[in-house]
């Protein structure tokens, strides 16, 4: 693992200063809900936008909603979501400290990741990151990694390694669904989860709500 930056080195470079209003977030969500930029917009039951804090320290970015997410309109509520929830709880992240979004906002048939949808959704993802202003991004799986740093591919090399992306900390992991595919992948998921836990503890970024403003306030 590369040398871990100190808190002093990291925090001042993180762009967490822009004031944002809840109405800006609501406007973005309305735009995503109305989107028909690709064919998935007319196939979905629900658009799947976000869950968690509006002022997260850690932003998990998945690939695309599955059928369970399509039914309820919330990211990671199915089997992969249970594994992600277990990780979040092992990390000790409070509700106010993390959020979850996806690269693609609508369920692709047969769970086939669509580059066309990813391209159409890319501006929404960028605006979500800009609004949420996390300290760390954790892309889950190859398609989430390549939405930010295709230069780090393949995921088998990048997962579990700390780097930077635009002044933010960047810690890719394999997709939680992949962890169910073999013992080796499950061990990789668990191993990388432990590395992430060490990184967050050294930053003092978990279990410590500090000055995080309440969701709903002008942040
Ligand atoms: N897999 C994802 O990548 N995202 C979800 O929301 C659910 C499963």
- Give the ligand 1 atom nearest the CA of 63: 3
- With respect to residue 16, please indicate whether it lies within any of the assigned structural domains: no
Q: How far is the CA of 145 from the centre of ligand 1 (A)?
A: 14
- Give the ligand 1 atom nearest the CA of 141: 3
pLDDT at 22 over 50: yes
- With respect to residue 47, please indicate whether it lies within any of the assigned structural domains: yes
**H/E/C letters for each residue in the chain?**
CCCCCCHHHHHHHCCCCCCCCHHHHHHHHHHHHHCCCCHHHHCCCCCCCCEECCCCCEEEEECCCCHHHHHHCCCCCCHHHHHHHHHHHHHCCCHHHEEEEECCCCCCHHHCCCHHHHHHHHHHHHHHHHHHCCCEEEEECHHHHHHHCHHHCCHHHHCCCCEEECCEEECCECCCCHHHCCHHHHHHHHHHHHHHHHHHHHHCCCCCCCCCCCCCCCC
The answer, yes or no, to whether any atom of ligand 1 lies below 6 A from the CB of 108, is no
pLDDT at 206 over 80: no
pLDDT in tens, 39-84: 999 999 999 999 999 999 999 999 999 999 999 999 999 999 999 9
**Residue 167: what pLDDT?**
84
- With respect to residue 13, please indicate whether it lies within any of the assigned structural domains: no
pLDDT at 4 over 90: no
Domain that residue 57 falls in: 22-203
The answer, yes or no, to whether any atom of ligand 1 lies below 6 A from the CB of 97, is no
Q: pTM for the whole thing? A: 0.88
- Total domain count, the chain: 1
- Ligand 1 pocket: which of 76, 104, 176 to mutate (most atoms within 8 A of CB): 76
Q: How far is the CA of 8 from the centre of ligand 1 (A)?
A: 34
Q: How far is the CA of 64 from the centre of ligand 1 (A)?
A: 5
- With respect to residue 110, please indicate whether it lies within any of the assigned structural domains: yes
Q: How far is the CA of 180 from the centre of ligand 1 (A)?
A: 14
Give the CATH number of the domain where residue 118 resides. 3.40.470.10
pLDDT in tens, 166-184: 889 999 999 999 999 999 9
Q: How far is the CA of 195 from the centre of ligand 1 (A)?
A: 22
Confidence class for position 14, pLDDT limits 50, 70, 90: very low
- With respect to residue 141, please indicate whether it lies within any of the assigned structural domains: yes
The answer, yes or no, to whether any atom of ligand 1 lies below 6 A from the CB of 114, is no
């Amino acid at each position: 693992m590369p040398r871990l930056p100190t808190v002093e080195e990291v925090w001042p470079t993180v762009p967490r200063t822009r004031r944002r209003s809840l109405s800006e977030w609501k406007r973005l969500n309305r735009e995503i809900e109305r989107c028909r930029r690709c064919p998935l917009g007319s196939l979905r039951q629900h658009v799947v936008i976000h869950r968690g804090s509006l002022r997260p320290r850690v932003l998990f970015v998945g690939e695309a909603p599955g059928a369970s997410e399509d039914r309820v309109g919330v990211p990671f509520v199915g089997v992969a979501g249970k594994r992600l929830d277990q990780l979040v709880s092992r990390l000790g992240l409070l509700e106010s400290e993390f959020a979850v979004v996806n690269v693609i906002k609508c369920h692709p048939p047969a769970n086939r990741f669509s580059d066309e949808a990813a391209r159409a959704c890319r501006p929404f993802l960028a605006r979500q990151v800009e609004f949420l202003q996390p300290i760390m991004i954790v892309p889950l799986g190859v398609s989430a990694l390549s939405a930010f740093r295709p230069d780090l591919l393949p995921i088998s090399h990048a997962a579990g390694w700390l780097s930077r992306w635009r002044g933010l900390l960047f810690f890719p992991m394999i997709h939680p669904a992949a962890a169910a595919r073999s013992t080796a992948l499950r061990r990789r998921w668990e191993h990388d989860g432990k590395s992430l836990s060490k990184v967050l503890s050294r930053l003092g970024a978990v279990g410590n709500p500090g000055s995080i403003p309440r969701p709903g306030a002008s942040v």
